[in-house]
Amino acid sequence: MQEKRRGMLVVVSGPSGTGKGTLCNMLLEQDPSLRFSVSVTTRKRRDYEVEGVHYYFVTDEQYDALLQEDALLEHATVHANRYGTPRKPIEDLMEQGLNVILDIDPQGARTVISKCPDCVSIFILPPSYEALEKRLHTRNTEKPEEITRRLNNAKGEIEQMDHYQYVVVNGEGEDGKQLAFNRLQAILEAEKQRTNRYFPVIE
């Protein structure tokens, strides 16, 4: 049997602090067909972040140049910082039959979903606002006023949940995380078998 596949774009989104980055990393470690879409941002690099791995960190001038070249699939200003998704790397990977995972805020996700109706869109939901606040405090990457801003934004972002194809709750503790991961795996395995992406030829 001969097999041919067309790559898919997987959009994973949700409020800041839901653990979507951790879940995406788990998927990338388990699935060799997945590649991570690295976004550009004008935000300052955090201590643990690596250029070209977590983000491409650019100046406002460099960001403006990308906009003028129409090089971004989507772009948005979130929490007073600018973010964008480079278009060409995603297209090149999908042409090779690879699947691209995009960890993105809900504002940018809406744009990608509208431009790429064939993408797989998944919203990661926290089990509660209390759990979300705890996670934001625990990761120690934002000041208290920034955490308050992100929590306030989360309420509006969660109201957009019905624009996505799938919703996965990332529950409490290791068991909750493992269950969310299992559900994400199931979604991706099913989506890989769609007839618009999978073209087997039998003799």
CATH number of domain containing 10: 3.40.50.300
Q: Report CA-CA distances (Å) from 146 to 64, 131, 152.
A: 25, 17, 10
Q: What is the per-residue pLDDT for 156?
A: 86
End-to-end CA distance of the chain: 6
- Predicted confidence at residue 167, as pLDDT, reads 97
Give the H or E element holding residue 178.
helix 173-192
pLDDT of residue 105: 86
The answer to the question of residue 203 being in a domain is no
Confidence (pLDDT) at 10: 97
Query: Is 45 part of any domain?
Result: yes
SS3 content of the chain, % helix, strand, coil (to 5): 45, 25, 30
Identify whether 23 is part of a domain.
yes
Low-confidence ranges of the chain (pLDDT < 50): none
Q: Which helix (H) or strand (E) holds 100?
A: strand 99-104
151 in a domain, yes or no? Answer: yes
pLDDT, residue 140, reads 65
pLDDT at position 60, please? 93
Asked if residue 202 is part of any domain, the answer here is no
pTM, two decimal places:
0.85
Kindly give the pairing relationship between strand 72-78 and strand 81-86: antiparallel
CA distance 86 to 101: 13
152 domain-assigned: yes
CA distances from residue 37 to 81, 99, 147 in whole angstroms, order as listed: 18, 10, 26
Residue 92: the pLDDT is: 92
In a domain, 46, yes or no: yes
Domain total in the chain: 1
DSSP state of 37: P
Q: Is residue 73 part of a domain?
A: yes
Q: What is the pLDDT of residue 141?
A: 67
Residue 62's pLDDT is what?
95
Can you tell me the distance from the alpha carbon of 4 to that of 24, in angstroms, rounded to the nearest whole number? 25
Count CB atoms within 10 A of the CB of residue 53. Answer: 9
55: domain range? 2-196
